[in-house]
């Protein structure tokens, strides 16, 4: 995959990947804009050692200056560039570029060219050796350079500029831990300048001005070429201390970003990633209608809000977006804009999710074992681990048999078994509201299940015996319920969670009565809680044999299977 590159703007950040480009920035009124485009050339087109650094410099400086001249303090009505442009009838962008170039040349020629040799002579005197003199010039250049760069940090627009630079580094960094990155454009430029100072200070220069200028140009170009290779080696190095040695220059041009700046940068990076889909259209939010908003900005905001709430599963953002907008996950990468009405609905859903409400409860439905089920506050939201229980029951059925599901809730276990086998399925639950949900789900999935309102086996005394009894009973110890995640303890019914003082109440009751309701060689299937397997095995051993304990996806004991003992008279 192509590498990501970033170029900060004074009020935003640009990202590149291959020929894909996206830029997010804020204007002087605080409004966020997003632009994406397919470039004719890559930021580093040839990727040849010592050539790629020069390409990176040229391409990077072009867009860096282009974005700086768009800054509000440059193009605002009262800015110097605007006043000059009106008098000369020239585009303010070109005036701004000329002013920036002039200031840069003055700094380079006077502060970095003229001043250091004079100061060195004043300090060392004319009698000092050439080596000492050159070393002094180098030290003075470095000190002046550091002072200039650190002074710029106190200029408020540049503080934000450096914060956006920090954003870019954080987002490109795979671990998202460091705001420093060796090959970051600003760090690359600063590092290259310092290397050129070192080289220029220790090579013999002719007194001929033409050759002096020519040598300095060659040194500067060589410095940029060599610097990129050095920084690339540092960036790919495994020892962290070596990777972060770039701090010597990076701290000058990098600041810790705010959440708002991270959100703006996320929008730009997200747009570049979406552009990997060749069918995706370019976007310019400056041209959007009043009732439209950039999808990448909305998507980045959703991700950031969920992440700040501790919800780090990347698929959740996609799921919420797809549900609200009524699209498939594959269509997300094709979206460039959505209506404010859709954004408002998404904001409401995100807010509910942040408060801990499960996605299944927000939309009143969920997927389980490849089927869609209705879920409400009256039933437990199904967990992925329960699919292991269902799978084990289905695989054990090779002929027509009778199955009982105890504590059916939304009916997912009973319905999946009926859908995938020829079994005659009965399901019981003490809650009539839960049974209403289960009946709806059975009808929706076009299966027949006999639903009975019953407290365990109470209302099943006159029915035929079963070949299989399956249950995912309440197994949370009473004192542990308040320690559960918000989305469980506040949104799932306590009736479906509370398993008594030790969490084993229902297992004891089911195991005690199950032999009277099972046929010869009948089997019992349980889903169990963490660290409950040994206790449940002990409970089963009196009347059951061939006891198996099955682990879940996280290697935790999750399912117990047991066969009724064949008691001989």
- pLDDT tens for each residue of 501-542: 899 999 999 999 999 999 999 999 999 999 999 999 999 999
List the structure tokens of 544: 């059951």
Rounded CA gap, 105 and 122, in Å?
25
Q: Do domains 288-355 and 380-564 have the same CATH topology?
A: no
Helix (H, G, I), strand (E, B) or coil at 204: coil
According to DSSP, the β-strands at 337-339 and 365-368 are unpaired
The three-state DSSP-derived secondary structure of 484-539 is CCHHHHCCCCHHHCECCCCCCHHHHHHHHHHHHHEEEEEEEEEECCCCCHHHHHHH
Position 404 scores a pLDDT of 97
Rounded CA gap, 519 and 33, in Å?
69
Residues of the chain predicted below pLDDT 50: 73-75, 77, 568-569
CA distances from 328 to 176, 301, 322, 343, 348 (A): 28, 20, 6, 17, 20
Give the containing element (helix H, strand E) for 259: helix 259-274
Answer whether 419's CB lies under 8 Å from 449's CB: no
Position 569 scores a pLDDT of 41
- Judge: domain 288-355, CATH 2.20.25: no
Rounded CA gap, 511 and 526, in Å?
10
Answer whether 457's CB lies under 8 Å from 513's CB: yes
What CATH number does the domain located at 380-564 have? 3.40.50.150
Rounded CA gap, 393 and 389, in Å?
6
Query: For 99-103, which contacts have Cβ atoms below 8 Å and span 24 or more sequence positions?
Result: 100/65, 100/68, 100/69
User: Could you please report the per-residue DSSP string of 401-427?
Assistant: -EEEEES-TTSHHHHHHHHHS--EEEE
Helix (H, G, I), strand (E, B) or coil at 371: strand
Taking the alpha carbons of 209, 215, 217, 220 in that order, is the dihedral positive or negative?
negative
Q: Model confidence over 47-73: pLDDT tens digits? A: 899 999 999 999 888 888 777 655 554
| Beta bridge pairs of residue 417 | none
Of 10, 32, 34, whose CA–CA distance to 22 is shortest?
34
Rounded CA gap, 546 and 563, in Å?
6
Position 99 scores a pLDDT of 63
Give rounded-to-5 percent helix, strand, coil for the chain.
50, 15, 30
Q: Exposed e or buried b for every residue in 301-311, given b needs 16+ CB within 10 A?
A: bbbbbbbeeeb
Rounded CA gap, 283 and 292, in Å?
12
Phi, psi of 388, rounded to the nearest 5 degrees? -65, -45
Position 238 scores a pLDDT of 81
Helix (H, G, I), strand (E, B) or coil at 550: strand
Length of the chain: 569
Rounded CA gap, 232 and 183, in Å?
6
Residue with tokens 């504590």: 407
Residue with tokens 């040598």: 215
The span from the first CA to the last CA of the chain, in angstroms, equals 71
Rounded CA gap, 516 and 461, in Å?
9
List the structure tokens of 525: 């299937």
User: Could you please report the per-residue DSSP string of 115-140?
Assistant: HHHHHHHHHH-TTS-HHHHHHHHHHH
Tell me the domain boundaries of the chain.
4-259, 288-355, 380-564
């Amino acid at each position: 995959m192509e590498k990501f590159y970033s170029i900060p703007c004074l009020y935003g950040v640009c990202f590149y990947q291959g020929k894909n480009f996206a830029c997010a920035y804020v204007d002087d009124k605080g409004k966020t804009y997003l632009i994406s485009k397919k470039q004719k050339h890559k930021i580093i087109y040839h990727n040849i050692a010592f050539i790629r650094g020069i390409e990176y410099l040229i391409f990077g400086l072009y867009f860096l200056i282009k974005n700086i001249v768009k800054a509000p303090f440059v193009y605002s009505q009262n800015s110097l560039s605007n006043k000059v442009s009106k008098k000369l009838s020239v585009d303010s962008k070109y005036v701004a570029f000329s002013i920036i170039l002039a200031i840069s040349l003055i700094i380079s020629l006077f502060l970095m060219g003229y001043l250091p040799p004079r100061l060195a002579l004043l300090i060392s005197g004319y009698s000092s050796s050439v080596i000492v003199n050159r070393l002094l010039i180098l030290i003075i250049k470095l000190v002046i350079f550091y002072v200039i760069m650190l002074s710029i940090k106190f200029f408020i627009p540049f503080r934000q500029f450096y914060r956006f630079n920090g954003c870019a580094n954080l987002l490109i960094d795979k671990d998202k831990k460091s705001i420093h990155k060796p090959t970051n454009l600003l760090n690359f430029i600063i590092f290259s300048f310092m290397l050129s100072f070192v080289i220029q200070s220790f090579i013999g220069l002719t007194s001929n001005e033409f050759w002096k200028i020519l040598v300095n140009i060659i040194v500067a170009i060589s410095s940029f070429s060599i610097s990129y290779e050095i920084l690339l080696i540092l960036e790919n190095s495994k020892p962290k201390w070596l990777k972060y040695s770039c701090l010597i220059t990076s701290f000058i041009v990098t600041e810790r970003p705010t959440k708002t700046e991270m959100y703006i940068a996320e929008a730009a990076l997200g747009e570049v990633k979406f552009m990997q889909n060749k069918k995706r259209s370019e976007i310019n939010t400056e041209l959007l209608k009043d009732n439209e908003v950039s999808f990448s900005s909305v998507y980045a905001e959703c991700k950031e809000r969920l992440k700040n709430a501790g919800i780090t599963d990347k698929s959740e953002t996609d799921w919420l977006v797809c549900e609200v907008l009524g699209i498939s996950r594959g269509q997300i990468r094709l979206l460039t804009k959505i209506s404010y009405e859709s954004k408002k609905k998404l904001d409401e859903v995100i807010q509910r999710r942040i408060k801990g409400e499960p996605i299944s409860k927000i939309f009143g439905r969920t997927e389980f074992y490849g089927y869609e089920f209705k879920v409400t506050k009256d039933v437990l939201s199904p967990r992925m681990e329960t699919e292991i229980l269902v799978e084990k029951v289905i695989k054990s059925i090779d002929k027509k048999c009778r199955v009982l599901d105890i504590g059916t809730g939304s009916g997912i276990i009973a319905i999946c078994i009926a859908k995938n086998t020829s079994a005659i399925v009965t399901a019981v639950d003490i809650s009539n509201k839960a049974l209403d949900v289960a009946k709806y789900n059975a009808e929706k999935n076009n299966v027949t299940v006999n639903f009975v309102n019953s407290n365990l086996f109470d209302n099943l005394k006159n029915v035929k015996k079963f070949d299989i009894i399956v249950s995912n009973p309440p197994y949370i110890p009473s004192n542990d319920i308040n320690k559960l995640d918000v989305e469980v303890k506040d949104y799932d019914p306590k009736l479906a969670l509370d398993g008594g003082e030790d969490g084993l109440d229902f297992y004891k009751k089911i195991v005690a009565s199950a032999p009277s309701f099972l046929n010869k060689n009948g089997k019992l299937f349980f889903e169990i809680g963490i660290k409950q397997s040994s206790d449940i095995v002990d409970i089963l051993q009196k009347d059951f044999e061939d006891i198996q304990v099955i682990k879940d996806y996280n290697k935790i004991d999750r399912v117990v299977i047991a066969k009724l003992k064949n008691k001989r008279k």
